[in-house]
Amino acid sequence: MDLKQLRYFAAIIDEGGMRRAADGLHVSQPALTAAVKQLEDTLGVSLFARAGRTLEPTREGYRLYAHARALLAGAEKARSEMRALANLEVAELSLAATSMVANHVLPAPLGDFLAAHSGVSLSLMQMGGPAVESALKLGEVEIGFAMHDLDASFEQVPVFESQIAVCMRADHARAGQKDISWDELLQERVATLPRGYTLHARLLMEARRHARAANIVLASDAMGLLAKTVEAGTAVGLLMEAAKPLGDHIVALPIRENEGRHFTINACWRRDMPLSVAARALIDFLAEK
């Protein structure tokens, strides 16, 4: 039993006869008769009884008609919903990113994407890098944005680039330099992201390499707190350049050893879970930016 057979069967009842149903469906009467006969053979019941020159549904035929109408309506609803999803008339998309990326990289492009696709709704969660990977593995989000390469179970597409910057007040002793070295940074009080974030791990790695202790006075993913700490002169901020606190009283120095190199921010998703139409549209949109 398939939907075409049910559609043919229901049309005979709706149109009040075989000939009118065949005309409405644009099929031949023999084809319609054969479809009904095959349906009867499959179900093992007679669906119509002839009364003079007309066909009347049997009791079983009326029972099947109710089921057929429900199934055909459900199929049409499914087709309509799939068309809407394919055209991004309606879609939901769940994302995860680190706080810095969520607050300073994604707002403008995601805003542009929503403006271009008014039927799409987004959910964006902020979390540390390892938590982004975990959320992807658990299927809690469809796309995660990571500043480090994930394992081979994920597809990854680079969508943004950003430099590391050391942010400080314009009256800081090093503010007049064109750049700053890791060794010089390790002599400063530093505010940066907490453990679990790429920048924190990189700072600790450089501290070990230079045989120094990193003087981290603030480790937080509260971007407002990090900015206020830099603005107050309490510490210098190890941040992405895009997250530099605003204002002429703040300068951002590139790290000397990183000259010409950028952090790549990847859009990531599970290799074993094909992207939805909305997710693919978002990645293509970001890649073109």
120-126 vs 54-57, strand pairing mode: unpaired
pLDDT at 51: 77
What's the rounded Cα separation, in Å, for the pair 45 and 35?
14
Tell me if domain 91-159+265-287 and domain 164-261 are identical in fold.
yes
Q: Which residue has the tokens 């469809």?
A: 142
What's the rounded Cα separation, in Å, for the pair 249 and 54?
91
Phi/psi at 38 (nearest 5 deg)? -65, -40
What confidence tens digit (pLDDT) does each residue in 88-118 have? Answer: 777 889 999 988 889 888 999 999 999 988 8
Q: What is the mean pLDDT of residues 268-283?
A: 90
* Domain map (residue ranges) of the chain: 3-86, 91-159+265-287, 164-261
CATH of the domain spanning 164-261: 3.40.190.10
What's the rounded Cα separation, in Å, for the pair 216 and 202?
13
Asked if CATH classification 1.10.540.10 holds for the domain at 3-86, the reply, yes or no, is no
What confidence tens digit (pLDDT) does each residue in 144-184 have? Answer: 998 877 888 999 999 988 888 999 999 999 999 999 999 99
pLDDT at 80: 66
CATH architecture of the domain covering 91-159+265-287: 3-Layer(aba) Sandwich (3.40)
Q: What's the pTM?
A: 0.64
260 has pLDDT over 60: no
